A and B are shown apart, each in its own frame.
Chain A
Amino acid sequence: MTPFSRRFLLGAGAAGLAGATLMPTLTLAAAPTDKRFVVIVLRGGMDGLSAVVPHGDPAYASARGRIAIAAPGTGEGAALKLDGMFGLHPNLEALKALYDGGDAAIFHAVASPYRERSHFDGQDVLENGDTQPRRRHDGWLNRALAGYGRKDANRALAVSQAMPLILTGPEAVSSWTPPQLPQGDDDYLARVQRMYEDDAQLRTALEDALATREMAMGAMDGNMRGGGNQLAALARPAGALLRAEDGARFAVMDPGGWDTHNNQGAAQGLLAGRLADLDRGLAALKDSLGTVWKDTMVVVVTEFGRTVAVNGSNGTDHGTASAAFLLGGAVKGGQMIADWPGLGQGQLYENRDLKPTMDMRALFKTALVAHMGLDEGFVSREVFTDGERIALLEQVLRG
């Protein structure tokens, strides 16, 4: 984003704010977009210190003990060097290639506004766009959809059976996973639709499902194979759904299994397996998006990081800040962005966790405004609580 458009949007936002008191119906509907935005929520609390290794921090190796990832250049299982301070987990090879190719920016010491250590409240805040859990009952991405003038079904898609909170709300959204059971025939489904005519909840859900299934059939040439719930298996069909001209513009994926209390491992082990799946998933997504990768932004976040110290069972407990990734052809990659708080004595949050120095919502807000073209004032007011205080990130989009 150029400085000029930044100023322009800031101005528009201010006008919106001023106008709100005078004419409450003022809307600044954004034009339809061909950009794509994917949010990947890693549920369970990804350990940012093993994913993005601060090998240059003098306290890292000793604090991490048995689960420390070896510094870059020290042989097999060593971190993949990003710069003198940071490296990626050895299983994040595809991410490293994206970084080297200028398609991935990597952030550290990132957290949502949530400062306690419950998964459920943590995920709630990540998804509801608020500063507190359980106060807003719809998701920020659903609220963002209201900023477009054009209302199309299938613009936003959860690639999961259950609708995640981040997409829940008044705007029409859909969900899709590769069908695992023989599909009902058209005659039967048409009759079901007639039974649902007076039932708004079921009618809408079925209409969305049928439309999405049709879209998926087209996008995948009828070849929809189920492949389990690993990100690597879901990313390819997700990419096809996003790639299609009449397909989705927003998608959410939310692989779990990141809650590594026990035997987390280092270069190998439980966490290494999850990171390998994430890495394969990101590569598959890029591959599947094909030519629209250049118009895509993917943000990868988790509800919180994990304790700096290793716990009693070779794992880590719930912490605070973690790492985050921004990928896609639209991203000005090759950057490692962190206001690093340090891991030494006196530098930790509450004496145990990585201290947050960046609001995760800055990634979301930047994506919505600078990439997806939504009005900044609208995003600040309607999408996030206290959204005016969230800074837009400079220099993370290709100009």
Chain B
Amino acid sequence: MTTLAAIALNRFGMGARPGDFDKIGRDPRDFLKAQVERAKGVPKPLQTLAGSIDYINAAPERGTGQEGVRAYRLRGRALYQQEIALRYAYGIATGEGFTERLVRFWSNHFTVSIANRQVEPFAGAMEREAIRPHLTGKFEDMLLAVCRHPAMLIYLDNANSFGPNSAVGRRRNVGLNENLAREILELHTLGVEGGYTQADVLALAKIITGWTRQGPQTRQAGVTGDAVGFVYLPAGHEPGDHVLLGKTYPETRDDAQGIAALKDLARHPSTARFIARKLANHFIADVPPARAVDALADVYARTGGDLKAVTLALVDLDEAWVPETRKFRAPEDFVVAGMRALSADSSLTAQSFVQAALNIEEGLSQAGDVMDPQSYQQALRTINRSNDPAMALLRTVGALGQYPFTAPSPAGWPDEASAWAGPDALIERLDWANAISARLRPNLEPVAFARAVLGPDISQSTERVLSGAASPAQGAALVLASPEFQRR
């Protein structure tokens, strides 16, 4: 049990479970690199979840009555909740903690929010369909997959952006919506200081007009899309060449113009720096050392945005292995780490989340193809029961301010202590640590438990308080409340 092993499990991973320290092996760096090598697509427990295209294809035909439309929407909500239950189950149970943290990092980089209810059925699916497959691939492929995913196309309104001079634009008096284009430049690639102008925002908006999601309307128009849910609608595309960052992208017959532009953005030096800084910010410190950012940006630039190379370089950075824990755990990180720490010794394991997901599945299959809102509402009630542990946990994360896929803006959840360590946020997580420990009643000796999930570096004052705990349950709560557990 060493400090480096604790760093591998807590700073890079989703949090140590008792026993995890024995699985690290001789070199914690190799332990992480092996995960990067193994990371491939969607893990098995999540493969049963519905694809975006399944939901799109289940859409009621135009002219379906209100009941059918409502049932369809409720089905979307049930799918989201099923996704979240399994996502928690997997997050709590997985031994591939580093891979899972990377997934959530990139998922947050490309935030979508279910505050727009139309995004709900697609938000979790986007993580499976656009993030996970490219985790150790090229950044440009992840960028393209995200920008062509129904969740992002809906969330940032590109599904409703039309070239003013396109066939649709002229016929229907609709036009550009620059939302996605702006956020691609500002938040996904170059960064706000990356050197673009309002003219570039408009140019990119025009370049990606016609990029939309499949649905009854595109089906009716007879255009075919990809296997995920994207479709290129030539009639909505702004014709002509467009100049972005000084480079002319000639008109093409298909979506190649946009693909070329996004690939160039992905390989831009500003993107290399922006991504490097964000990674270093997440894994090292709120204000990461310049040398670490430079090193990552360098690898990114040299490899054309090869995320595997960049990730391995991150593991190799000495700056990432300093013993001082400088990252304050965000609420979801804290709750999942808390559940991982407690789950080995409690009845509330990942299995209960899987069960919640199965309940939803059962409800969905009972609802079947019948467009009956009541069947879906029944399915939702099943998982919303107050005694369902998965949904109780989901509410907790919500109460702590980080309900999944509800980040307040396209910038995603903040990654700085200042956002999460305020008085109210802190005391609410302490409330949770107390409540969950009282409920699970883990029978652990507090100091040993602390070492099993935090490693050897426990301060004297923490140890003193832990060893005087009034009960094992209070002891477990104090471990979760300890300064050592708040940071990684």
Contact = CB atoms under 8 A, between A and B. Distances in A.
Do A and B originate from a single complex?
Answer: yes
Interface in A187-220: 187-189, 191-192, 194-199, 201-202, 205-206, 208-210, 212-213
B27 interface: no
B462 A195 contact: yes
A121 B192 contact: yes
Interface stretch (B292-300, B356-364, B379-387, B474-482): B474-482
Given A120-B411, A121-B192, A175 B424 contact: yes
B160 interface: yes
B430 A192 contact: yes
Interface string B335-370: 000000000000000000000000000000000000
**Chain B interface residue bracket vs A:** 35 or more
B422 A158 contact: yes
Nearest to B468: A191
Interface string B417-441: 1111111111110111111000000
Contacts of B178: 311, 317-318
A315 B433 CA distance: 43
Nearest to B331: A161
A199 B324 CA distance: 13
Nearest to A309: B175
B182 interface: yes
Interface stretch (B17-25, B51-59, B394-402): B394-402
A24 interface: no
Given A43-B408, A311-B177, A181 B481 contact: no
A189 B428 CA distance: 11
Q: Secondary structure at chain B's binding surface: helix, strand, loop or mixed?
A: helix
Contacts of B66: none
B179 interface: yes
A117 B182 CA distance: 9
Nearest to A270: B116
Interface in B425-480: 425-428, 430-435, 459, 461-462, 464-465, 468-470, 474, 477-478
A250 to B, nearest CB: 15
A104 to B, nearest CB: 27
A313 B418 CA distance: 36
Interface of B: 115-116, 156-157, 160-162, 164, 169, 174-179, 182, 186, 192, 198, 201, 395-396, 398-401, 408-411, 414, 417-428, 430-435, 459, 461-462, 464-465, 468-470, 474, 477-478, 481-483, 486
What 10 pairs between A and B have smallest CB-CB spacing? A313-B160, A312-B175, A209-B423, A180-B399, A163-B422, A209-B427, A175-B424, A184-B434, A208-B423, A161-B401
Given A175-B422, A206-B427, A261-B156, 18 more contacts: A175-B423, A177-B428, A181-B428, A182-B435, A184-B433, A192-B430, A194-B461, A209-B426, A212-B424, A213-B427, A256-B408, A262-B157, A311-B175, A312-B162, A314-B160, A315-B157, A317-B178, A318-B182
